[in-house]
Amino acid sequence: MTQTTAGVNHVAIIMDGNGRWAQNRGRPRLVGHHAGARRVKEIVRACPDLGVKYLTIFAFSTENWKRTQTEVAGLMRLFKRYIRREAQSLFAENARVRFIGDRVRLEPALVDLMDGLELLTAENTGTNLTIALNYGGRDEVARAARRLAHDVEMGKLAPRKITDQTFPRYLDTHVLPDPDLVIRTSGEARISNFLLWQSAYAEYQFIDTLWPDFTAEIFAQVLDRYSLRDRRFGAVPA
């Protein structure tokens, strides 16, 4: 069976190119991250009109700790500031915010803000905004396997019950549908460890625009192009 691509339910975005955007202007990389954060707001706001029910954005990967201490610290400050500043408007926009990724390595003050925003928006029924922070696809699968093994050890799960249907219940994304479309900005054509399990049948769009230049208008154009694709899921075209 092939599926029409008329509507896109879940869009995931690898927001890349902040550093180059700043470098092009002779500014420090963090200036690019701040400009990128402003864009997030615009893209989240555009979702209801574009029919996007789930938006998942890659904010910080498990590999991004390899950057300089200055950049990492600046990003952590930016995440805290973003949550503090945007919490009320996200709530007012009826967005439901969730975080995926491993929280263990994040500082407690940031984790408290993340928990607070999830709680504040838990009853909201609009756009499901998921922010991937200290997220890595391999790390997520490994953590899921650890929890699953624990359940087996406790006698809560029989090994024969482990299937491609039951395994994803242990992933951070267990309440989310799989992404229909994964967009990466900045011209790089790679996944960089994002939603490995979940994107098995996602459509990909790699676009040259740097993330701080990614407007709601460009977003709408990317979704239009997606609607022309023929998703076959392994079947023969109808």
Interaction site with Mg ion (CB under 5 A): 16
Q: Could you confirm whether 64 is annotated as catalytic?
A: yes
Q: Which stretch binds ligand IPE (CB under 6 A): 15-23, 91-99, 142-150, 158-166?
A: 15-23
58 is a site residue for ligand IPE (CB under 6 A): yes
Secondary structure letter of residue 45 according to DSSP? H
Q: Could you confirm whether 178 is annotated as catalytic?
A: no
Amino acid letter, residue 120: L
CA dist 84 and 78 (Å) reads 10
CA dist 225 and 219 (Å) reads 10
Considering only residues 22 through 41, tell me which ones interact with ligand IPE, judged by CB under 6 A: none
Reported residue count of the chain is 238
Exposed, middle or buried by CB within 10 Å (0-12, 13-18, 19+), for 32?
A: buried
Min separation Cβ 40 and ligand IPE, Å? 11
CA dist 121 and 117 (Å) reads 6
59 is a site residue for ligand IPE (CB under 6 A): yes
Secondary structure letter of residue 138 according to DSSP? H
Which is the catalytic residue, given 9, 64, 124, 193? 64
Question: Whose CB is nearest to Mg ion?
Answer: 16
Choose between 14 and 171: whose C-beta lies nearer to Mg ion.
Answer: 14
74 is a site residue for ligand IPE (CB under 6 A): no
Residue from the set 8, 11, 12, 15 that interacts with ligand IPE by CB under 6 A? 15
Residues with a catalytic annotation lie at 16, 64
